[in-house]
Chain A
Amino acid sequence: MTVTDSVRSALEVDKVESHLHPEGSFDVADHAVPTGREEIWRFTPLKRLRGLHADAEFAPSATACTWNTPAGVRIEGVDGDEARSLRGVSGLVPNTRFAARVLAEVPATLLVDVPAEADVTEPIVVELTGEDVEVTEAGHVVLRFGNHSRATVVLNHTGHASMAQVVEVVVGDGAQVSVISLQDWADDAVHLTHHETTVGRDATYKHVAVSFGGDVVRMDANVSYAGPGGSAELLGLYFADAGQHIEHRLFADHTAPRTKSHAVYKGALQGQGAHTVWIGNVLIRKVAEGIETYEENRNLVLSDGCQADSVPNLEIETGEIEGAGHASATARFDDEQLFYLRARGIDDKEARRLVVHGFFNDLIRKIGVPSIEDRLMTTVEAELAKNVLKDTPSTSSGQR
């Protein structure tokens, strides 16, 4: 694709003011406490965050942390100079007060270090089990994958916690990496997390975010590129029940040429006050010629009283790209799908179950870790049992 000079001059290529790439800062004092009127906070119920976004004390952790250690991988909690040297290792310059506070105030870092050229077949699973929701705490996690390594890391969040968290991921050149973050919290948990990843030259990165539990879960997942040719697949799956707020904010910052980003997030909502937010920000910087990006968000509304916000943003500073697109859809069941299944004798309830099953299965099978895939299908079934498998009135109207 080529832009003419007139179009080029219309594109503000020199300096673009936008919330997609504000100046960050490591200095906590540079970040005012959010009021809820800011673009990046306007969807989040601040009052339910237990002060994690503001000045809640970061107390000693009440979350148990265990992991397996496949051969050749270093996993440990580090502190002192080593922990300090890891702050911002992903290129993160905080754009929120909580992220700045985590980097400045949390003394230790959980480091997963995969050496260059290591081929780790067994998934590295870090279990984070919250034990006290009254304790406001914060954590810093660094996942570092050496050049040409291959590995999968799973962060499994369960239990009761009020946690602010920064996860920094460094994907070395040519590495093939999957990071899977499961938010399978108990109903009272609050989780404010920022995942920042830098993708190396010609590296392949898959980030999977799965949010089922928790009172409020907000994840900012950002990706930028350290060199040309990197590829990021950003997958997400969420299921909000009554009263739950689940928010996923993505940012693919195309900072290098011929990079790729492909985001697919799917969510379902059921019950009064279930609220999901998906923000898909993509920035194609002037230098990022020949890139490809596509982002997609689909929400399935299973009952009345739910709200799904879905906002794709695409900002393009160069017209010299391979492709850029997005899709967003929020709907109830597709009447034509249900008719097709029912015309084959399948009753209404079973037809709905199949459609939702398929809706998620389509995404789950892309995760690539069989044990996680199986577990997620079971979780989806359990969620469906709360609503779709119960007696449902026939629905068709009232799309948002």
Chain B
Amino acid sequence: MSKLEINDLQVSVETEDGPKQILKGVTLTINDGETHAIMGPNGSGKSTLAYSIAGHPKYTITGGTVTLDGEDVLAMSVDERARAGLFLAMQYPVEVPGVSVANFLRTAKTAIDGEAPKLRTWVKDVNTALENLDLDASFSGRSVNEGFSGGEKKRHEIAQLELLDPKVAILDETDSGLDIDALRIVSEGVNRFRSQEGKGVLLITHYTRILRYITPDHVHVFVDGRIAEQGGPELADQLEAEGYDKYTKTATV
């Protein structure tokens, strides 16, 4: 079971001119096994939603609730949220020099599971995950995200998704900056994940092209810190044709 409920979430960030509200009351429920796409123009607050759910210290929650299977996510520390079953694939994965991918993955898996993975199956699992994302075996010896190409960083994020096997995956513009081949490889990884029983996906994107590979159950249009419209997959087609203009115009009134 996995149900992520976001209710009237309000978030602000500190700026030089004082706190600035970014999310102005977001309500969204991802039921067991559902994939939701959040689309919107730059600056609409899509990434803020992702990072707020994951617990980034830059964002201050000023109102609302987030629960995962009824548990209060906002009361948890960043690592507790991950251990509770949330996974954030980041738009800009961070370099950790001197820490190998192998060491990082094993440490993360141990933390998530509460015990070290069985050595024999683990090595096989890692190799399979890397292979699935078209990353060769030498990849595990490299420092985390250091010197990775843009595509390698995103594929590494999805390899982690498969290995850590969370309940709900939040993908923050995982498609941006990917060429067609990488987009296909990454999408296949996401589809493998969500083909399992009860996995939730919150897919945040600026573009519609990834939705040709990953068909969402629901599409939400995000404008100025709120959900401006929602619908089924057909809404993405409409955005493809018309863009965000009609939403941004009303938002600036």
Contacts and interface: CB of A to CB of B under 8 A. Distances in A.
Do A and B originate from a single complex? yes
Interface of A: 334-337, 339-348, 350-351, 354-355, 357-363, 365, 396
- Most B-side CB within 10 Å, residue of A334, A345, A347, A357: A345
Given A337-B95, A340-B96, A342-B55, 17 more contacts: A337-B96, A339-B94, A342-B78, A342-B79, A343-B55, A343-B78, A344-B79, A346-B79, A354-B103, A354-B104, A354-B107, A355-B96, A360-B98, A361-B98, A361-B99, A362-B98, A363-B98
A357 B111 contact: no
Given A344-B108, A348-B77, A359 B98 contact: yes
Contact of B94 (A340, A348, A357): A340
B96 to A, nearest CB: 6
24 contacts: A336-B94, A337-B95, A339-B57, A339-B78, A340-B94, A341-B96, A342-B77, A343-B54, A343-B55, A343-B82, A344-B82, A344-B104, A344-B112, A344-B164, A345-B108, A346-B111, A347-B111, A354-B96, A354-B104, A358-B97, A358-B99, A359-B97, A361-B98, A362-B97
Given A339-B78, A345-B82, A350 B107 contact: yes
Interface of B: 54-57, 77-79, 81-83, 87-88, 90, 93-99, 103-104, 107-108, 111-112, 143-144, 160, 164
A359 B108 CA distance: 18
B96 A358 contact: yes
Contacts, number: 85
A136 B151 CA distance: 60
Contacts of A351: 79
A335 B78 CA distance: 12
A347 to B, nearest CB: 5
Contacts of B83: 345
A99 B144 CA distance: 44
Given A340-B93, A362-B143, A345 B98 contact: no
Contacts of B95: 337
Contacts of A344: 79, 82, 104, 108, 111-112, 160, 164
Contacts of A358: 96-99, 143-144
- The 9 lowest CB-CB distance pairs between A and B, nearest first, are A358-B98, A362-B98, A345-B82, A358-B99, A361-B98, A344-B108, A345-B111, A340-B94, A342-B78
A354 to B, nearest CB: 5
Nearest to B92: A336
A350 B83 CA distance: 14
Contacts of A346: 79, 82, 107-108, 111
A365 B103 CA distance: 15
A361 B96 CA distance: 11
B196 to A, nearest CB: 19
Contacts of A355: 96, 99
B57 A396 contact: yes
Contacts of B94: 334, 336-337, 339-340
A18 B54 CA distance: 54
A334 B94 CA distance: 10
Given A344-B108, A346-B111, A354 B99 contact: yes
Contacts of B54: 343
A343 B96 contact: no
A198 B132 CA distance: 52
- Most B-side CB within 10 Å, residue of A350, A360, A365: A350
A334 B95 CA distance: 10
Contacts of B55: 342-343
A340 B99 CA distance: 13
Contacts of A365: 98
A345 B97 contact: no
B163 to A, nearest CB: 10
A348 to B, nearest CB: 7
A340 to B, nearest CB: 4
Contacts of B81: 343
Contacts of B79: 342-348, 351
A260 to B, nearest CB: 22
Contacts of A347: 77, 79, 111
- Most A-side CB within 10 Å, residue of B90, B103, B108: B108
Contacts of B99: 354-355, 357-358, 361
Nearest to B170: A343
A66 B106 CA distance: 42
B164 A345 contact: yes
B125 to A, nearest CB: 16
A344 B93 CA distance: 12
Nearest to A338: B78
- Most B-side CB within 10 Å, residue of A342, A348, A351, A357: A342
A341 B164 CA distance: 13
Contacts of B103: 354
- Most A-side CB within 10 Å, residue of B55, B79, B87, B95: B79
